[in-house]
Structure 1
Amino acid sequence: MQSVFSPPLHRQRHQFVIDYIKRTKPQKVLDLGCGECSLLKKLKFHREIQLLVGVDIDGAKVKKQMHGLAPLSTEYLQPSFDQLCIELYQGSVTQRDARLRGFDLVTSIELIEHLTLADVEHFSAVVFGYMTPSAVIVSTPNSEFNPLLPGLSGFRHSDHKFEWTRAEFQSWALKVCSEYGYDVEFTGVGQPPPSQQESVGFCSQIGVFHRLRGRDSGSMLFGDGADDEFSYTLLCSINYPSLRDNNILRRVLVSEVLYCAEKLKSRWMEEKTGDGEEASTMCLGEGAEFLSGQHVEEELTACGEGMKSPVEQCGRAVSDDGEGEYDDLWTKGQEGETFNRHVSVPLDELFSCFPRVSELSGSLSNLRLLLMDSPEVKLSQDGSAVLIAYQDPDREEEEIDNNIEDSGYAEASHCSYTTEQEEDWEENV
């Protein structure tokens, strides 16, 4: 078959479904006879879908392939606001299950020809009469095309129970529409030679069914107790990471806030030490203005008037362990201890200057609320600013020198070899 069509026929069928989904944007999609999950693996990237379900009678086959439906590592690192849940079931399409009712789209790709004609009647009643989806896509082989397939004798697959002509398929489809309140459009994939389009038709014929408004055939046929039926076995349920999950949203927001606050702190430190005075500009994010060096201090000033630098903080300072407090951020502890200093970065600056922060939080009050319970973030006493640990560069150099002296390395580095040591070295060589 692959030598006859390019791209291969199964890809053309899947692409037909994908194109339909791009146009109609269904949120709940069910694939009957999902088999090796090849269609589901393609549909999981179309994030307008919020619930993607596959059903197949061969549970072992599904289990072998379902790992390919797991989220990618990048979807954990950079989750979106989109929601997606994937569920896989083992069960027969001739049986009813209340969990599969009311979908936006049901697909049945090359499935019904594997059923007996008696089971096709059950299939029709279950899919169109009980599940009552808004739309159904059914594809099945067109037996009129078979003479054009090289080397084919009999059915296209050993498990096929029948293969319909176009007239037979259309007769079944129109009967379904009449009984269950749908209309149908006929099309297909797999083009014949141009001269035989009318006489042969598509290799795979497709019916696209749309449910008519105002029809509730499922309730009329099966009554109120129909919702209690659960005949399928759930094989797995996969929830993709989404920013609609508060825990995930908080994790991503905290990471973004800390990154942005460190960025502002670093820029302020450049201003404080005089590094890059001529080119001390700061991009505060896409769509925001560039701030000159003289404005950086203004943008980073914490709450209250009279603040001279963002390191000064209104209220009392928070210690490194988050438990003690100090009267002044510049207060020194016991002799030999380091200063407990912080740069205070106002939340309103983070919210207004960094589009990603505002997008994730939605509002300034929500930003504060999401950060309050995070152990990774230190907020000022009034909750208006993020406190970022600060170490004076001069103090850092002094501590490094002290550590070197304490370690004895400095003393060792001043030792010189005696003449006798040099002579021994030469002898050893």
Structure 2
Amino acid sequence: MEPTFSPALHKQRHQFVIDFVKRNKPQKVVDLGCSECSLLKQLKFHCEMELLVGVDINGAKVKKKMRGLAPMSTDYLQPRNDQLLVEMYQGSVTQRDSRLRGFDLATSIELIEHLTLANVEHFSEVVFGYMTPAAVIISTPNSEFNPLFPRLAGFRHSDHKFEWTRAEFKSWALKVCVDHGYEVEFTGVGRPPPGQQERFGFCSQIGVFHRLGGREVCNVFCDDALSYTLLYSKNYPSLHDNNILRRVLVTEVLYWAEQLRRKWVEEETGQRDDGDTPGPAEGGGEECHRASEQHLEMEEKQTAAACGAAMKNLVEHQDVEDGELFWTDGQQESGRLSRCVSVPLSVLWSRCPKVGALSGSLGNLRRLLMDHPDVKLSQDGSAVLLNYQEQEEDRDDLEDSGFAEARRCSHSVEPEEDWDADHAALLSGDK
């Protein structure tokens, strides 16, 4: 009886890399032999990533799938805190390219067995001697596992040039460590039937290499080799972009100012305003996006309560150190008299954590809001002015802006196709 794997074997290999990323939080990752980009599509959701690169010799295959690495609509509505650059290259792992030097992590998943033994030597020199990543994860078929596939004749894939035993893989890996200053741990994915682990080992054997000396980049080579062809380059929207930062900040300010306006109107009139207000757009990358709806609602309630308590306390005590906290006044607009509620920036900055984090200081908050078409400030620029009674058209504008949808959106990893749909795909071991 042939072994089956749950989850599928290719998913176990990818999950091994993802678990490593979660533990070690590398900022620069390159996937060598990225094929259809399925691993990269999962790695892009980790907010610690700043540079994500894929390399494959088959440029046509990369071009078919690389668009799946483009930002989604939620990436613009919920921008990351930190920058992320995604790049895809066509090139051979046996050639040097200076753009791939000094990464935190390089992965080579079921790639090395597709090289000739002569090219394996070039691969070792390029990856460990030239690129010098801080960590390397290499997976390759374990030929000792093959007898468990009774219908298998030869290698698991027609393009494989060899398949190593555990001893052969270990011998190669230890030589790499001696030659290039690394240490290695051996493990794998795809377990054999119970009681057969020692005899057969893992279906895919894995070596995890760590460069001795940590993250310091070796500078033995100072050339500017550019052997690869750039196929795709995309910067993800992030709060490092001032325009995006300002948009997110304005959304947060208007949201919390409206919450306080409603709270104050309720206190003054004794009537509850039950109109729906869209939540603020979230910023800060995948881990920030993945907070549950229940957690977001609780956080908003806690912040609104804190702001409301501060408002009520200062109004009752007539604290005017930063100007009147809330007031109504006559404002002449288009020949008619309107009443406004003033929400001091100092309250928004100090009591609403997201506003404070985005702006950094009260002065920056005032500067970023100044002259913004969606924000009406007091004459001295110290407070946001809102209509005493919310206008229906204002509410419609907020609903149409897309920010209500942004609050409800969260990233989801694109499901991979089932590569174990047939036995041949299972045995291939390719990504």
How does the TM-score come out when normalised to structure 1?
Answer: 0.77
Name the stretch that deviates more: 228-237 or 338-347.
338-347
With a CA cutoff of 8 Å and minimum separation of 6, indicate the structure with the bigger relative contact order.
2
AA partner of residue 363 (structure 2): S
Query: Residues 235 and 2 (structure 1 numbering): CA distance in 2 closer, same or farther, change over 3 Å?
Result: farther
**Deviation by residue 1:396-427 (Cα, 9 ceiling, x = unmatched):** xxxxxxxxxxxxxxxxxxxxxxxxxxxxxxxx
Structure 2: unaligned runs, 5 residues or longer: 274-299, 392-431
Q: Are the counterparts in 1 of residues 59 and 90 from structure 2 also a CA contact under 8 Å?
A: yes
Task: Say whether 1:61 aligns with 2:65.
Answer: no
How far did 1:362 drift? Answer: 2.4
Question: What's the offset of the Cα at 1:274?
Answer: 4.9
Q: Is the 8 A contact 1:264 1:300 kept in 2?
A: no
- Residue 184 of structure 1 is matched in structure 2 by 184
Note closer, same or farther for the CA distance 1:299–1:185 as it changes in structure 2 (3 Å cut).
farther
Alpha-carbon distance in 2 for matches of 1:308, 1:364 = 16
Instruction: State which structure, 1 or 2, has the greater radius of gyration over its C-alpha atoms.
Output: 1
Deviates more, 1:3-12 or 1:103-112: 3-12
d(CA) in 1 for partners of 2:358 and 2:142?
51
Distance apart, 1:245 and its partner CA:
2.2
Sort the Cα spacing of 1:173 and 1:8 in 2 relative to 1 into closer, same or farther, 3 A: same
Match of 1:275 in 2: 271
The number of aligned residues is: 365
Map of 2:155 onto structure 1: 155
The answer as to whether partners of 1:32 and 1:106 remain within 8 angstroms in 2 is yes
Percent sequence identity is 67
TM-score, normalised relative to structure 2: 0.76
Q: Within 5 Å, which residues of 2 pair with 1:305-324?
A: 310-312=327-329
In 2, Cα distance between equivalents of 1:40 and 1:2: 30
Pair 1:255 & 2:272 matched: no
3-state SS of paired residue (2:153): coil
Out of 268, 277, 285, the position equivalent to 2:303 is 285
Check whether the contact 2:103–2:134 (CA below 8 A) recurs between aligned residues. Answer: yes
CA distance in 2, matches of 1:286, 1:34: 46
Matching of residue 108 in structure 1 with residue 134 in structure 2: no
CA contact (8 A) 1:344 1:385 kept: yes
The answer to whether the 8 Å contact 1:96/1:230 transfers is: yes
Q: Quick one: distance in 2 between partners of 1:300 and 1:352?
A: 19
- Separation in 1 of the partners of 2:83 and 2:164? 39
Deviation at 1:8, TM superposition (A): 1.6
Paired residues of 1:283 and 1:290 also in contact (CA < 8 A):
no
Paired residues of 2:137 and 2:206 also in contact (CA < 8 A): yes
Quick one: structure 1 residues 142 and 387, their matched pair in 2 at CA, closer, same or farther if it must change by over 3 Å?
A: same
Cα 1:214–1:54 change in 2 (3 A) is closer
**What is residue 41 of structure 1 aligned with on the other side?**
41
1:96-149 deviations in Å (ceiling 9; x for gaps): 111100001100010011111111111111000100001111111111111111
Q: For 1:143 and 1:53, locate their aligned partners in 2 and report how far apart those are by CA, in whole Å.
A: 30
CA-atom RMSD, angstroms?
A: 3.1
CA distance in 2, matches of 1:386, 1:308: 11
- Aligned partner of 1:367 in structure 2 is 365
Question: Could you tell me whether the CA contact under 8 Å between 1:29 and 1:106 is conserved in 2?
Answer: yes
Aligned residues of 1:262 and 1:388 also touching (Cα < 8 A):
yes
In 2, the alpha carbon distance for the partners of 1:332 and 1:345 equals: 19
Partner Cα distance (1:232, 1:292) in 2? 59
Go from structure 1 to structure 2 and tell me whether the alpha carbon gap of 1:68 and 1:150 turns closer, same or farther (over 3 Å shift): farther
Alignment of 1:84-233 (within 5 A): 84-213=84-213, 219-220=219-220, 222=221, 224=222, 226=223, 228-233=224-229
| Mapped contact 1:302–1:344 kept (Cα < 8 A) | no
Greater CA deviation, 175-184 or 234-243? Answer: 234-243
Letter in 1 for 2:154: G
Q: Paired residue for 2:13?
A: 13
Deviation at 1:276, TM superposition (A): 4.8
For 1:383, the equivalent position in structure 2 comes to 381
Aligned equivalents of 1:249, 1:125: Cα separation in 2: 43
CA shift, 1:375, in A, is 2.5
The one-letter code of the counterpart of 1:378 is K
